[in-house]
Amino acid sequence: MQKRPTLLVLAAGMASRYGSLKQLDGFGPNGETIIDYSIHDAVKAGFGKILFVIRQSIAEEFKAVMLHRLPAHVPVGYVAQELDMLPLGYSVPDRREKPWGTGHAVWVASSQIDEPFAVINADDFYGYESLRMIVEFLNNSTDCQEHGLIGFQLANTLSEHGSVSRGICAVAPDDSLASLTELTKIVRTNAGEILVQDEDAPHQQLQGNAIVSMNLMAFKPSVFPYFEKYLKAFLHEKGRDLKAEFYLPAVVNKMIAAGEARVKVIPTPEKWFGVTYPEDKSTAMQSIKNLIKARVYPENLWETSQ
């Protein structure tokens, strides 16, 4: 019998643009975090375990918040993501403070996962239908080299208060991912245009209906050797760069280009929201209020779930 999939929650980010620990910031009427809503949806969708990637410096506070909120019947685990957690033979350069990135976060979790799993960011709201579709994919896909990606429309994933990073998807006619390009400075102008301000792609204009990845991806355990392979390649090439990050989309892109994996793109009808800047908080709180008013969520999220 196939194991129920695990949800891997990337919660080790430093939230430098937000200014505080947004992973634990309250957005719901009873102080619920965005993670709370994701876990609520994940349990309903059929995930069997929740695994958090966190930093040791926030571990005590993080676990204290989660301990009394999450349903007792759902197995929960934690894995640390630290700068010195690297493959044998590699070391942290002097003055490096920035985490190694989302791809590294998945790599450090590999020792605790031997079943199909999905990845989400702690500070992104994906919606129940997105998580239901990713579980359905993992339950039905029998090819160990086939993985999945939930695609959102770019226009529904922007902040009104600054630039955002998004993985732009090129989708083949058979709904497989042809390529995934990480752009780190996407903005919407006052005129409504969506522009790229990356140094490598200045002033490129994007369409609002472009499909983007918000790091909600589904993988089989067979993917882990590739994460190690490409992490080593990254460290060899950019390991002394104090700000370079090993992005999850970069691993996916390299696997596709090398013919090592097929990734099915699964469009979601859900609207994303999240918090990149402090000014995003009020918008996120209002979005949750609207969902409660529409009876998507109860007023007290965990009252009947313990």
Pairing type for strands 211-219 and 117-121 reads antiparallel
pLDDT digits (tens, 9 = 90+) for 56-102: 888 888 888 887 777 788 899 999 999 999 999 999 999 998 899 99
Output the CA–CA distances (angstroms, integers) from residue 188 to 148, 156, 205, in the order listed.
Answer: 28, 11, 10
pTM above 0.85, yes or no: yes
Rounded percentage of the chain residues whose pLDDT exceeds 90: 61
On the question of pLDDT at 145 being above 90, the answer is: yes
Say which residues have a Cβ less than 8 Å from residue 113's Cβ, sequence separation at least 6: 6, 8, 51, 221, 224
User: Which pLDDT value is given to residue 306?
Assistant: 44
DSSP helix/strand/coil, 19: coil
pLDDT digits (tens, 9 = 90+) for 197-222: 777 666 678 888 899 999 999 999 99
Output the CA angle 92-79-131, nearest 5 degrees.
120
User: Which pLDDT value is given to residue 146?
Assistant: 96
Task: Identify the burial level of 186 via C-beta atoms within 10 angstroms of its C-beta, where 0-12 means exposed, 13-18 middle and 19 or more buried.
Answer: buried
pLDDT digits (tens, 9 = 90+) for 217-233: 999 999 999 999 999 99
Q: In whole angstroms, what is the distance from residue 175 CA to residue 153 CA? A: 15
143: tokens are: 């090819």
